[in-house]
Amino acid sequence: MARQDLWRTLPLLLLVGGCESVASSSNAPANKGPVERPPVPVATQVAARGSISSYYVTTATLEAERSAPVLARVEGVVRAILHEEGDAVKEGEILARLESEDYQYRLDQAAARTSRLRSQHDRLKVMLQKELATAEEFETVKHDLEAAEAEENLARLTLSRAVVRAPFAGRVVQRAVDVGQPAPAGTTLFLVADMDPLLARVYVPSKEFKRLAQDQVVELTLDGSGAELQGKIRLVSPVIDPASGTIKVTVEIPSYPPSTRPGDFAEVRIVTERHDDAVLVPRIAVVEDAQEQVVFLADADKAVRRLVKVGFVRGADAEILEGLKPGEVLVVKGQHGLKDGQAIKVLERGGEPGAKQDL
């Protein structure tokens, strides 16, 4: 009988247990929903007005103002070298001396003949006045004297060419001979270059011709050292190269670091257009989002997505043509991954474009 009573009471126990389970579930805490994200830390900066330019960028090899080989103008053995590579020299300064004994003897011989004929000429001139000599005799001596004087001048010129001089002020960039080495006429002895100023010759598309002007400022960056140089346009060719459609522009670089040399490679930037009173922002503030250029404004504690149109970009600055006004505050750090309306926390506030950010 006890087992029968147990089976009779089991449905009742299950029913009571089920009710308790339902009651327990109904007392469980309610779901709180999605967890709110903390504000994104950002730095801000104010959009400002300023000037910005577009550039034509190319490369060039720096060249000396002028460069010339110094040749042996007469034959001779090198007796002395007075300047080495790297030396600064003045125009006409002696670089080397060649042996000159033969040329000195020829000059002495020519000078002696000239002296003898000059004395004969003067004597016949007096005799002609006294009718003791004929005009024909006087004219013959006169012509011989003129020829002798010419020979003497040539011998003196030849002797002077045994002294090798700098053709212009500059720097010795190469010495090609040694003392005791024979130097036939026409042999290159030195290479002298005038490097004050240096030049860069670049070729600009003809469509930019109207935007180029003499004395226009040009910016350069040396490839090796990264040094920033400033030059100016000295010459703009009046003709267009028909093969390339470009115009040769000669840039003068008056000042440069002492380590700069002809042959250095440089990036050349020539201003082709300038916009004044433009709206400028740091270029890092502009982000690509769904193939659109946007910035995020800081509106109190919220980020506001703003579609913009970008104009010129120069260095760290970008020009905004549409979508932004001067004085508006935009996010310049922490903007990547931001969403419209997302909470932000400004940790640093900057001024105009170009201000240092240390966030």
pLDDT in tens, 302-311: 999 999 999 9
Among candidate residues 274, 289, 312, the one where a domain is terminated: 274
Let me know if residue 327 belongs to a domain. yes
Phi, psi for 243 (deg, rounded to 5): -75, -40
- Residue 145 DSSP SS3: helix
Domain assignment of residue 266, given as a range: 56-65+194-274
142 falls within a domain: yes
CATH code for the domain of 147: 1.10.287.470
**∠ at Cα 64 (62, 66), nearest 5°?**
145
Whether 34 maps to a domain, the answer reads no
Looking at the fold, whether 229 and 300 belong to one and the same domain comes out as: no
| CATH of residue 228 | 2.40.30.170
In a domain, 84, yes or no: no
Domain count, the chain: 3
Do 198 and 60 have their domain in common? yes
Q: What is the CATH number of the domain that holds 317?
A: 2.40.420.20
Does pTM surpass 0.75? no
Do 157 and 112 have their domain in common?
yes
Q: Considering 240, 274, 308, which residue would you say is the last residue of a domain?
A: 274
Let me know whether 305 and 325 are in one domain: yes
Query: Phi and psi of 327, rounded to 5°?
Result: 95, -20
Residue 187 is predicted with a pLDDT of 96
Is the domain of 205 the same as that of 343? no
User: So what's the pLDDT on residue 54?
Assistant: 85
Q: Does a structural domain hold residue 154?
A: yes
**Residues lower than pLDDT 70 in the chain:** 1-36, 351-359
Sign of the dihedral defined by the CA atoms of residues 140, 146, 148, 154, in that order: negative
